[in-house]
Amino acid sequence: MNNKRVTSFDVAELAGVSRSTVSFVFSEDKQSRIRPETRQKVREAAEKLGYYPNASARALASNQSNTIGLIMTRSPRYIASDNFLPQIIGGLLDIVNQAQLGLLIEWVEPGQQIETYLQLTRAKHIDGMIILTPRFDDPGLTALEQIDIPCVLMGQIPECDLPYVDIDNRASAKLAVDYLIELGHRQIACITNAATAYSSASQRLEGYRDALKAADIALDESLIRIADFDAASGYTQMKDLLKEYPRFSAIFVASDNVALGALAAIHDAGLSVPEDISLVGFDDIPEAAFYYPKLTTVHTPAKEIAEESCHLLMQLLKGETPFSRTINIPTQLIIRESTRMIERSHITTC
Amino acid sequence: MNNKRVTSFDVAELAGVSRSTVSFVFSEDKQSRIRPETRQKVREAAEKLGYYPNASARALASNQSNTIGLIMTRSPRYIASDNFLPQIIGGLLDIVNQAQLGLLIEWVEPGQQIETYLQLTRAKHIDGMIILTPRFDDPGLTALEQIDIPCVLMGQIPECDLPYVDIDNRASAKLAVDYLIELGHRQIACITNAATAYSSASQRLEGYRDALKAADIALDESLIRIADFDAASGYTQMKDLLKEYPRFSAIFVASDNVALGALAAIHDAGLSVPEDISLVGFDDIPEAAFYYPKLTTVHTPAKEIAEESCHLLMQLLKGETPFSRTINIPTQLIIRESTRMIERSHITTC
DNA sequence: AGAGATTATTAACACGCGTTAATCGACAAT
DNA sequence: ATTGTCGATTAACGCGTGTTAATAATCTCT
């Protein structure tokens, strides 16, 4: 219940040294400058007084806040049902904690991007930022390119020169659809993970197209639906898509979250997976292995993505030149129980 | 590409006023002090120069960071698979954004609590904090009681005097189990949502006991298992519990996340829900309505909890005396398809 | 032992803004 | 015109720390 805030001055006084010495002790960079016994004295004094360096003062003086920002590109309504997010946050927290950094979470409204990015960076609330799920139509990104603040994209925007960490969405999606084709399916529907303004969504859709083309299957636009991150949208889109059944025997759903909703719609229609419809998801969120049926899906190493993004950003913060400004994390098709060889009956049906 | 940072001094110069005037314009409190036309001049100058008040300097001078902390009481490994979290974060972001506050996410390691709380509060990185899922065995909480910093618990700790926002876990759990009993079940198992060191876990377990006692059903400790937040632990515990089958015809799983794993274990054992086992979950996460079968569960208004916590904290920050330091959010049993009347066969079996 | 070289320590300024108390200016009443 | 009053504006100090350049202390070598 100390009524007065304790500052480095108090510590200095108690330790019988100057304030600068205290400051040196607490900025671990130049360890060698202070004699070990002096350092010890200071540490003890600080301990006794319960001294914690003031973050704001430190940030002001040193011009770095020791905090990084995680910027989300969608509204809280969609954030609330994104089961990919905890993995990202968990991964970031892990690294950030080790590096003694803070993690600030922000959300940017479409149309406000430039303003928000500038505000965040200029106000120096954060030293750098990670942008989760960037959008093609984000004018703020080009603005960021011209600014000094370190910034890493979790996801790739083709025209954009910012450093990024991503998976190869297009190739991974193709992998998934290839597998369906390999199982004998020729009529394959698709539900995206999000609006195509999100790079991951359009890239995964491209992968779907690639696979069909490679197998000489004509693209049927009527078998494509656009979802919105969550299971509810997957349910709605699948329900709509089922009007076309049995014009398809398999489906690629570009997000496990969305796939869960799609599964429910299929069950509600009295059909089953994989007997009537084979389904491949994307992301391999931790729950995917427990869905009914257990989801065949593309494993996206969320933790690794988070960690690599964070490492990359930290390198940029230190002014180091990273080995590469762009990092691609490999994915992997996980085969579980939501897919199977096409039924002979199905082949004759159409 | 301004090579020099723009400060309030620059704005003042361009607007032809003093720095103080600029400061007054940007702290919206005392609007009346500045003449509208002067205000306008300042705003235009700021706009033209691209001025953003420096957060650190502001925090240092005013002694408030305009940032609140969300403190999580478990390791990143468990954070990564918590599907309740996005709802909380979404809810907080919404409010925090409106109030022009920042949201800092932290994680506290068991054993480090006091140290971490002190560091966070004394360093003034944050003005106040919300502690998610508090633990009984957290010695930091009593430390916090004696400190000036505003703090709100999301969850209740009986011996603890800190303000909190919570649901009535015990009564809600009882509600869920009551419903199972009402359906004719007398042999009811239970899997907790987490270790009993977490208040919500032990309270929900208490509710389970209450219900049994109220119905004069003897408690069978061998039908209780402890899970760890995620589906994987639910799977493991259910698998173990199934050794006791058919000594139970229904189960209360105190978290939808965990319930998903339990469902998978039941399916894997060749049984079905609700035909062989009725299952009630807890939380009503957005996905629960899409599980197979759709989960009967206790709806926990996560968004509301987040919002109320944030509002309460903001009141405390402003120094206002809130109407109540403790807020209880009502829950509701949502009946879907994972529960049904007990089979006659089951009754005769035992 | 004394001069030079090296290291440990400190004084002093800077960081950008909030805020109080004092100053300035305009306008009304006398 | 002078004084008084009130509101708009500013000067100046403080917030707590980082950091450079200068000083003090210690050590090395002849």
Across chain A, what does the average pLDDT equal?
92
Do the Cβ atoms of B52 and A102 come within 8 Å? no
Query: In the numeric block, which tokens belong to residue A193?
Result: 């993970």
Nearest residue of A to residue B2 by CA position?
Answer: A147
Look at residues B164, B163, B248, B167 and name the one whose alpha carbon lies nearest to residue B203.
B167
Residue B310 pLDDT > 50 = yes
Q: What do you get for the CA distance between the two ends of chain A, in Å? A: 79
- Name the least confident of A2-16, A227-241, A254-268: A2-16
Q: Which of residues 42-101 of B touch A (CB under 8 A)?
A: 50, 52-57, 59-60, 65, 67, 72, 76-83, 85-87, 89-91, 93-94, 97
Q: Which residue has tokens 């907080």?
A: B92
Are B129 and B69 contacting, i.e. CB atoms less than 8 angstroms apart? yes
Cα torsion for A289, A291, A297, A301, to the nearest 10°?
Answer: -50
Length of chain A: 350
How confident is the model over A244-273, as a mean pLDDT? 97
Residues of A in contact with B100 (CB under 8 A): none
SS3 B246: coil
CA distance B104 to A105: 6
Do the Cβ atoms of B76 and A55 come within 8 Å? no
Are B265 and B48 contacting, i.e. CB atoms less than 8 angstroms apart? no
Residue B1 pLDDT > 90 = no
Residue A291 pLDDT > 70 = yes
CA distance B129 to B140: 13
Quickly state the pLDDT bin for A175 (edges 50, 70, 90): very high
CA distance A273 to A180: 13
Q: Residue A148 has what pLDDT?
A: 73
CA distance B290 to B173: 22
Residues 6 or more apart whose Cβ sits within 8 Å of residue A177: A188, A190, A207, A208, A210, A211, A212, A252, A280
Look at residues A148, A194, A132, A169 and name the one whose alpha carbon lies nearest to residue A319.
A148
Residue B326 pLDDT > 70 = yes
Domains recognised in chain A with CATH numbers? 8-62 (1.10.260.40), 67-167+302-331 (3.40.50.2300), 169-299+333-346 (3.40.50.2300)
SS3 B153: strand
Q: Residue A3 has what pLDDT?
A: 52
Quickly state the pLDDT bin for B319 (edges 50, 70, 90): confident
How confident is the model over B320-328, as a mean pLDDT? 91
Query: In the numeric block, which tokens belong to residue A314?
Result: 């930290």
Nucleotide nearest to B10 (CA to C1'): C16
CA distance B221 to A156: 53
CA distance B8 to B23: 7
Q: Please write down the long-range contacts of A11-14, taking CB distance under 8 Å and 24 or more positions apart.
A: A11/A42, A11/A45, A11/A46, A11/A49, A11/A51, A12/A42, A12/A45, A14/A45, A14/A48, A14/A49
Percent of chain A with pLDDT over 90: 78
CA distance B160 to B157: 5
Are A314 and A99 contacting, i.e. CB atoms less than 8 angstroms apart? yes
Do the Cβ atoms of B85 and A89 come within 8 Å? yes
pLDDT in tens, B99-141: 999 999 999 988 899 999 989 988 888 999 999 999 999 999 9
Query: In the numeric block, which tokens belong to residue B97?
Result: 């954004």
Query: In the numeric block, which tokens belong to residue A182?
Result: 């390999």
Do the Cβ atoms of B104 and A104 come within 8 Å? yes
pLDDT in tens, B9-44: 999 999 989 899 999 998 876 556 778 888 888 999
Chain B interface, best mutation among A191, A290, A303, A304, by max B CB count within 10 A: A290
| Relative orientation angle of helices B169-182 and B199-214, to the nearest 10 degrees | 40
Do the Cβ atoms of B56 and A56 come within 8 Å? yes
How confident is the model over B227-250, as a mean pLDDT? 96
Query: In the numeric block, which tokens belong to residue A58?
Result: 């430190």
Do the Cβ atoms of A231 and B85 come within 8 Å? no
Nucleotide nearest to B60 (CA to C1'): D15
CA distance A293 to B225: 25
CA distance B88 to A247: 41
- Tell me whether B169 touches chain A (CB under 8 Å): no
Q: Residue A322 has what pLDDT?
A: 86
Look at residues A3, A31, A35, A9 and name the one whose alpha carbon lies nearest to residue A22.
A9
pLDDT in tens, B217-226: 999 999 999 9
Q: What DSSP string runs through B58-117?
A: HHHHHT--SEEEEEE-S-HHHHTT-TTHHHHHHHHHHHHHHTT-EEEEEE--TT-HHHHH
Q: Residue A8 has what pLDDT?
A: 92
Distance from CA of B218 to the nearest CA of A (A): 32
Which of A80, A122, A292 has its CB closest to that of B90? A80
What is the spatial distance, in angstroms and rounded to an integer, between the CA atom of A32 and the C1' atom of D22? Answer: 20
- Tell me whether B106 touches chain A (CB under 8 Å): yes
Chain B interface, best mutation among A54, A56, A107, A228, by max B CB count within 10 A: A56
Which of A77, A119, A124 has its CB closest to that of B56? A124
* CA distances in angstroms from A290 to A3, A293, A318, listed in the order given: 54, 8, 42
Q: Residue A350 has what pLDDT?
A: 46
Residue B3 pLDDT > 80 = no
**Which residues on adjacent β-strands are paired with residue B251?**
B189, B279
Residue B346 pLDDT > 80 = no
State the DSSP H helix or E strand holding residue A238, giving kind and residue range, or none if neither.
helix A231-241
How confident is the model over A43-51, as a mean pLDDT? 92
Do the Cβ atoms of A60 and B65 come within 8 Å? no
Q: Which residue has tokens 């009984």?
A: B136
Do the Cβ atoms of A86 and B81 come within 8 Å? yes
Q: Residue A2 has what pLDDT?
A: 44
Residue B155 pLDDT > 70 = yes
Q: Residue B342 has what pLDDT?
A: 85
Q: Cα A101 vs. chain centroid, distance in angstroms?
A: 19
Query: In the numeric block, which tokens belong to residue A50?
Result: 């319960």
Which of A67, A86, A107 has its CB closest to that of B80? A86
Length of chain B: 350
CA distance B279 to B242: 13
Quickly state the pLDDT bin for B95 (edges 50, 70, 90): very high
Q: What DSSP string runs through B249-300?
A: SEEEES-HHHHHHHHHHHHHTT--TTTT-EEEEEE--GGGGGSSSPPEEEE-
Q: Which of residues 246-305 of A touch B (CB under 8 A)?
A: 257, 260-261, 263-264, 267, 286-287, 289-292, 294, 302-303
Are B115 and A111 contacting, i.e. CB atoms less than 8 angstroms apart? no
Beta carbons within 10 angstroms of residue A307's beta carbon: 17
Nucleotide nearest to A10 (CA to C1'): D16
What is the spatial distance, in angstroms and rounded to an integer, between the CA atom of A140 and the C1' atom of C16? Answer: 26
Tally C-beta pairs within 8 A across A and B: 196
pLDDT in tens, B262-293: 999 999 999 999 999 999 999 999 999 999 99
CA distance B164 to B312: 9
Cα torsion for B269, B274, B276, B280, to the nearest 10°?
Answer: 80
Higher per-residue pLDDT: A34 or A308: A308
| pTM higher than the cut 0.85 | yes
Quickly state the pLDDT bin for A345 (edges 50, 70, 90): low
CA distance B273 to B297: 14
B216: left (phi over 0), alpha (psi -120 to 50) or beta: left
Distance from CA of B140 to the nearest CA of A (A): 15
Which of A55, A60, A264 has its CB closest to that of B123? A55
Q: Which nucleotides of D are covered by protein (CB under 7 A)?
A: 7-12, 14-20
Residue A304 pLDDT > 90 = yes
SS3 A270: coil
Residue B347 pLDDT > 70 = no
Do the Cβ atoms of A77 and B90 come within 8 Å? yes
How confident is the model over A94-106, as a mean pLDDT? 94
